[in-house]
Amino acid sequence: MARRDDAVTELERAPTAGAADTPRAVLAVGRGGRGKTVAYRWMIDRALNQGRQIIVADADRTNQTLAAFFGELVMSPPSAVDDDMRPWLDGLLEKAISERQSLIVDLGGGDQLLKHAAIELGLAEFLERNGITPEVLHFIGADSDDLAYLHESERNGLLAPEKTAIVFNAGVVPAGVSLDTAWAKHENDPALQAAVARGAQLVRMPRLACMTLLDDKRLRFTEAQGSQIGLTNAQRVLMWLHDMERSFAPIASWLP
């Protein structure tokens, strides 16, 4: 039987971040609905339950999901207008640098804020030079167009730090399509192959069948008690947490 204590214990005993004294900026990119925010929710839960402080920013202009799950921990821009968003992001980066804290920034699918920062600041190099390790995670599903962000980021090294991962989310693969068949659309893509050749990691993110239920109830993964979602679904969450640790093991040392 999976209880809340089980889920908390699962996150507490997970491998800790590689260099705890080295702050990092985790930048998840990709089309909307490819699992970026779900992965962030897991990372934040994981960090908090292992006693690590992080800066969490929700810059999704239409749906601030992280703020709904983590409340006052989450920083948000004053408005969705570019003239407010850009200086807000500048302040966020400077806060992480001055306080020596890891940073998570959640942006809506298609948002160009990071692209502008990459062009105007040389974002990855700027962070590295100021003691923050930049980490870019590309989230993709079964659609061939999901690699568009990877193509743009890798082109001329626009946003292509040493720590780059390509996360294939099994949760967004359509029913009736095998994971191997879905992945076959991508594996020969030149940009993907070039990224892997320079050291990008491949991660397969597992599917959680009851994710919609947790979303609807605004439950963190550590809050998945049987009394709220049923004993079988609570067990599914616990098993998913196990699977997430295994799947993200190649980049466990990157996590905040």
**Global confidence as pTM:** 0.90
- pLDDT digit string, tens, across residues 58-95: 988 777 889 889 988 999 998 889 899 999 999 999 99
DSSP 31-54: STTSSHHHHHHHHHHHHHHTT--E
Q: Average pLDDT, stretch 162-191?
A: 92
Q: How far apart are CA 252 and CA 17, in angstroms?
A: 6
Q: How confident is the model at residue 19 (pLDDT cuts 50, 70, 90)?
A: very low
Q: Name residue, tokens 């920083």.
A: 75
Q: Which amino acid is at 14?
A: A
- pLDDT digit string, tens, across residues 118-146: 999 999 999 999 999 999 999 999 998 99
CB 241 within 8 A of CB 24: no
Which alpha helices (H) appear in 139-230, and where do they start and end? Answer: 148-154, 179-184, 190-197, 211-217, 226-229
Q: How far apart are CA 9 and CA 241, in angstroms?
A: 10
Q: Which amino acid is at 176?
A: G
Coil, helix or strand at residue 69: helix
CB 139 within 8 A of CB 30: yes
All residues at 6 or more sequence positions from 146 whose CB lies less than 8 Å from its CB, including other chains? 30, 31, 34, 140, 186
Domains of the chain: 23-207 (3.40.50.300)
CB 26 within 8 A of CB 252: no
Q: Which residues pair with 169 in a beta bridge?
A: 205
Q: How confident is the model at residue 101 (pLDDT cuts 50, 70, 90)?
A: very high
